[in-house]
Amino acid sequence: MTNRGAPEATSPPLGLYVHIPWCVRKCPYCDFNSHAAQGELEEQAYVDALLTDLAREEAGGRVVETLFIGGGTPSLFSGEAITRLLQGIRDTLDLASDTEITLEANPGAVDAAHFEAYREAGVNRLSIGIQSFDGDALQRLGRIHDARQAVEAFETARAAGFENINLDLMFGLPQQKLEEALDDLRRAIALGPEHLSWYQLTLEPHTPFHRHPPPLPADDLVWEMQEQGLELLAKAGYGRYETSAHALVGWRCRHNLNYWRFGDYLGIGAGAHGKITAGEVTRYWKE
């Protein structure tokens, strides 16, 4: 563990973002730094690179309160790789005793053994990329899983002992009808996750969907989806605390809140970025 000087008394909370850029197949709407895996992942070499990257970071003796492993699809990495990554982070930084440690996972790219290994490694929060429970919608989005696998991923995570789970859902999907969007929410709510992220599909520049736009619902219909969806979420006890995030009482994502409250965060990995306050605000990003 390293300690690089005393933290300033007025320093904001500190988080750590870790980027794992590989996925099974890049979705046509995705503009994140992600790449379809070609052959066997060199996960141990990448963990080595992450920890080398981390050694260059300046935590200034501050305690890390949240840690988020995103991608890409981090659940492509083995339990052994995630264990070594988290142990290396603990050896380098001071982590709070109640650090929120989130890992993103996708149905179709994870199983019970992975979930159990992640839990044993210290991951205490999962974010599962469901996007929709409608098979046709999933195909139009280029997802690798089906509705059955979406439900199984959640149930498997619960069985592995995860008590803090977020589900990612999208609305305003190609050819989506109002009831289809609301049914996605109803099915997610019925599973009982602690947190739901509900995003409107946007056509981001430099993506296949932007170059060749699919037929999307009219703006008025998307507005109705949002209004009725927000009502459904509120009635089910999911309070909205930022643009797309909804949580049961006591289950807001602390890492996301740190972003929204202009807290500090270190970033390691390909394409990661960070923001540190040390007399002045400094933003940086990795290539």
Question: In this predicted model, what pLDDT tens digit does every residue of 172-225 receive, in sequence order?
Answer: 999 999 999 999 999 999 999 999 999 999 999 988 888 999 999 999 999 999
Average pLDDT over residues 236-248: 98
* Domain limits for position 202: 14-285
User: Is position 3 within any domain?
Assistant: no
Name, in order, each residue with C-beta under 8 angstroms of 18's C-beta and a sequence gap of 6 or more: 50, 67, 68, 69, 70, 74, 85, 89, 268, 269, 272
What pTM was estimated for this model as a whole?
A: 0.91
> How many domains are contained in the chain?
1
d(Cα 148, Cα 162) in Å, to the nearest integer?
20
* Confidence class for position 3, pLDDT limits 50, 70, 90: very low
| Strands across the sheet containing 239-242 | 239-242, 245-247, 195-200, 165-171, 125-131, 94-105, 63-71, 14-20, 264-268, 273-277, 281-285
User: Is position 192 within any domain?
Assistant: yes
User: Is position 6 within any domain?
Assistant: no
Residue 66: CATH number of its domain:
3.80.30.20
User: Is position 5 within any domain?
Assistant: no
What residue type is assigned to position 57 of the chain?
E
Which segments of 106-244 are extended strands (E)? 125-131, 165-171, 195-200, 239-242
User: Is position 2 within any domain?
Assistant: no
